Chains A and B, each alone.
Chain A
């Protein structure tokens, strides 16, 4: 019933699951819904959020623009009476995806039956995220300016 020590914290599960194609996330959530009782605490919604920043020059707050938001909040109950709440807020406009992730969040957080499938998905999301991070690190590593070479190379 325990997750590995390097398993990501709950506040990253949503973003990691959202790294995966929706077609990979929705079916396991739908399977869990067949076996568990899922109640919407708030109806899944999609819309917009206004993104606020503090400018790093003087610290004035301002709105950079709007972002798509999908969110869901559910309560999940198993046949043996165990229950847990799950939620998701995504930069996405697919409310059904947010609900699927909220179900996985509840199942995993409360270790309800089927939590292993949810944890596997989070691990797959982590792998996808790591691949992306690796690509970004490569962008930096290959373009890191080494000023110490200036003037030392004959052709410079």
Chain B
């Protein structure tokens, strides 16, 4: 049974758009949101939208958040729609996250990591108590926050980037060797996911996945539907300089920088004392997560699922989080939101058909629906 073309409702649809905008504006005394304020003060929301939209454009993400009144799914959808209108000019050479200008790096594997642990901006140690002082914040005090913070910063010589924790483990022979560089990675924006897919497709799909979806499936693994048991070797947040060839010299030049979150987890080791396993020597297994913006829960969830999917691809899926098809086809926010939302569209003909079939079935069963109603 198909759909039917219908007419009418144009005025109502236009009215709905006006009604939505009216609620955005609120009363006559309200001030419009300024994009810079969204980008700065709602930075984690912007991070979520650039990540799930798959386009690193914080300014447009702020605009989408304003336009769709804080709906992250719609905002990510708008970024995806925007990107589909733009020509693709280039594919970057592989960028090196070791050059990340870090603003936060922690490890739950080691206390002393090369360069030290820096908590950076985090709520990890904050009490989840409402700060009523922000209800009516004094603009002068607000503007002084950054000045005071910088004035109180100790004078230290710190590098912009730091060595990776995994490098130390790898040097000890506790990790699998790095794979040789292969050809061009799988491009999920141009190629459909036809299973089995390479790990590159899984990483790209999860990098722009909806945070809650990734977290839910990763959480199933954490709670027992899986056995990754991760330890975070390193979680880092910072700005990766994007290096592209200079149009004249061809030498790599910095085109700008991208805020991203990266997580490497160490999981159960593979192999045994007899040398059965990874390359004849028991080594830890690894999971990797990365995404645009500052999204720690997403990066951790992705790293856990990466490890779970590697296991599923190798040994077969023992639970949903190890099944590439289950995970990768259900974590995209724009896909899943679109499917859920389409149920709001008219299904008049299909539902009419459902009713007809039910009435026919009831008639065949000898049920007199009218008499039944009268008796009731």
- A61 pairs with B118, CB closer than 8 A: no
Q: Does A71 contact B (CB under 8 A)?
A: yes
Give B51 Cβ to nearest chain A Cβ, in Å: 8
Q: Which residues of the partner chain B approach A123 to less than 8 Å between Cβ atoms?
A: none
Compute how far the CA of A47 lies from the CA of B57 in the bound complex, rounded to whole angstroms: 12
- A54 pairs with B287, CB closer than 8 A: no
- B93 pairs with A138, CB closer than 8 A: no
Which listed residue (A52, A63, A102, A136) contacts B188, Cβ 8 A? Answer: A63
Give B278 Cβ to nearest chain A Cβ, in Å: 11
Stretch at the interface among A21-29, A30-38, A142-150: A142-150
Q: Which residues of the partner chain A approach B160 to less than 8 Å between Cβ atoms?
A: 133, 136-137
Q: Give per-residue flags for B152-166: 1 if the beta carbon is below 8 A from chain A beta carbons, else 0.
A: 111110101000101
Q: Which residues of the partner chain B approach A51 to less than 8 Å between Cβ atoms?
A: 56, 92, 95, 242, 258
Q: A49 with B92: in contact, given A91-B258, A144-B116 (CB under 8 Å)?
A: yes
Q: A144 with B118: in contact, given A63-B204, A87-B247, A92-B256 (CB under 8 Å)?
A: yes
- A147 pairs with B111, CB closer than 8 A: yes
Interface residues of B in 290-324 (CB under 8 A from A): 290-292, 306
Compute how far the CA of A41 lies from the CA of B104 in the bound complex, rounded to whole angstroms: 42
Q: Which residues of the partner chain A approach B95 to less than 8 Å between Cβ atoms?
A: 51-53
Compute how far the CA of A129 lies from the CA of B374 in the bound complex, rounded to whole angstroms: 81
Number of A-B contacts (CB under 8 A): 250
- A57 pairs with B288, CB closer than 8 A: yes
Chain B, interface size: which category?
A: 35 or more
Interface residues of A in 59-90 (CB under 8 A from B): 59-69, 71-73, 85-90
Stretch at the interface among B83-91, B331-339, B359-367: B83-91
Residue of A nearest to B105 (CB): A140
Q: Does A1 contact B (CB under 8 A)?
A: no
- A58 pairs with B248, CB closer than 8 A: no
Which listed residue (B97, B103, B181) contacts A53, Cβ 8 A? Answer: B97
Residue of A nearest to B205 (CB): A62
- A142 pairs with B152, CB closer than 8 A: yes
Q: A86 with B248: in contact, given A14-B253, A56-B264 (CB under 8 Å)?
A: yes
Q: Does B172 contact A (CB under 8 A)?
A: no
- A65 pairs with B207, CB closer than 8 A: yes
Which listed residue (B120, B122, B179, B251) contacts A58, Cβ 8 A? Answer: B179
Compute how far the CA of A134 lies from the CA of B101 in the bound complex, rounded to whole angstroms: 11
- A55 pairs with B288, CB closer than 8 A: yes
Q: Which residues of the partner chain B approach A41 to less than 8 Å between Cβ atoms?
A: 247
- B248 pairs with A85, CB closer than 8 A: yes
Compute how far the CA of A89 lies from the CA of B120 in the bound complex, rounded to whole angstroms: 31
Give B333 Cβ to nearest chain A Cβ, in Å: 14
4 more A-B residue pairs beyond the given contacts A11-B246, A61-B182, A91-B257, with a C-beta to C-beta distance below 8 A: A61-B184, A65-B291, A67-B92, A105-B248
A-B contact pairs, 20 of them (CB 8 A): A10-B251, A11-B252, A50-B92, A51-B56, A60-B203, A61-B181, A61-B185, A64-B260, A67-B256, A73-B247, A88-B247, A89-B253, A91-B258, A92-B256, A105-B248, A134-B150, A138-B153, A140-B102, A141-B155, A142-B154
